[in-house]
Chain A
């Protein structure tokens, strides 16, 4: 299957700093990328949907100024957690699709804010 690379896989940062997570589709051009977060023992929760070259669509309750999403090309989307706080500690995972095709997922990023 297609490969989606997410980096970094783990990050620890200090409270108040910003963290950038990258999501790349390595062997296909993704028309749509999705960002999810997952708390322990819970389902994935969709944060935002992004299409290349346009602004991301955020889900209700997700602060767009805190979770900045940039989808600069058909193979790269980034999620920046700004002014991170301990409550932002979570597992973040991206997904990429070409239209209504199969969904492919990155490996996920475990963020710990101390």
Chain B
């Protein structure tokens, strides 16, 4: 059981470049999320999805886009990368319901230079 798989694990981008962070889950979870973790700032929600075809903005969506064409996949697109997007990105998934026990991927460490 793979859980939540994120690729790549590391990436260095130049300012202005674009890339897609991949996230796949095999638990048939309806809900999926993208968070970024900056030092001393905790986890900030970028985008989330409650099911295929449905996405919405979180707390820090600027500079990012998402899509959810299948239950399994929730890619995060960075357009025109900026140094402020240097961070560790985590994808997570969960079932609906009160407990909100997220399953996280292992993260993508992105550096924009």
Q: Does B associate with A? A: no
A interface, CB within 8 angstroms of B? none
